[in-house]
Structure 1
């Protein structure tokens, strides 16, 4: 299903570009699973923000695991490790990590996630689901 999902997301690029030609928005907020949106936005001179539906904490913890690979320093799937660069002692085990991280496997999905990360780094910023929810709550919606 992963390959089909990735293919399906790329099929949205051409129709999206057609909409941009007609509408000329001031910015684009596109889901993280649309890495092509960064190049599309640049093509039209529009800033792109990456949307992550997760919380700031979850995204930060995942990034610290990605950068520092603390799970590679433990000897078993159940041995806890501290996630570096987060306040406090946030502990996880390898069992709690996604398979592609735990197994350090290069597959279609991990390659796709790398492309998503590269596109995010070239974007104008990130919008997180938790912040949107908090903003909507403050507005009373």
Structure 2
């Protein structure tokens, strides 16, 4: 299983003949909204907001909420643009996805995501596994 923002792990899995699963630390809603945003063309006119296409609900987004990655070229944070491009490719070319969510929370978006990606598993919020405060406050045995 690969974390979405460690796209190099996909290449390691492929080289060893391992099916790639990508872990989304976010929700089915966000995964669906990101896919819808990638598929739509931004309105060329001066409209301030537009609806994301092909989602279970009408979701409007402001044009000012969209990052123009082309403006990052030559900037100190340019590596973010490359990492996001690799993450999109990884998300599209894998065996399936594991989501940090649960069906009852966002059933319509879980179904919508499964229709498009086919193999999607909801693993609940992983942070709920540890019940005792001592385990929640320490990481890596520290």
What's the TM-score once normalised by structure 2's chain length? 0.62
What 5-or-longer segments of structure 1 have no aligned partner?
A: 1-28
**CA distance change for structure 1 residues 84 and 74 in 2, over 3 Å: closer, same or farther?**
farther
**CA distance change for structure 1 residues 133 and 85 in 2, over 3 Å: closer, same or farther?**
same
Alignment of 1:65 onto 2:34: no
Could you say which residue in structure 2 is the equivalent of 1:41?
A: 13
What 5-or-longer segments of structure 2 have no aligned partner?
A: 102-121, 132-142
Greater per-residue helix proportion: 1
Please give the secondary structure, in 2, of the residue aligned with 1:50.
strand
Please give the secondary structure, in 2, of the residue aligned with 1:92.
strand
For 1:123 and 1:75, the matched residues in 2 are separated by: 37
Q: Shift in Å at residue 119 of structure 1?
A: 2.4
Q: Shift in Å at residue 109 of structure 1?
A: 1.6
What's the TM-score once normalised by structure 1's chain length? 0.62
* Greater than 2 Å deviation, 4+ residue runs: 71-74, 95-100, 103-108, 119-122, 134-137
Q: Shift in Å at residue 61 of structure 1?
A: 0.6
Paired residue total: 107
**CA distance change for structure 1 residues 125 and 55 in 2, over 3 Å: closer, same or farther?**
same
Alignment of 1:132 onto 2:120: no
Alignment of 1:87 onto 2:56: yes
Alignment of 1:119 onto 2:119: no
The root-mean-square deviation of aligned C-alpha atoms, in Å, is 2.8
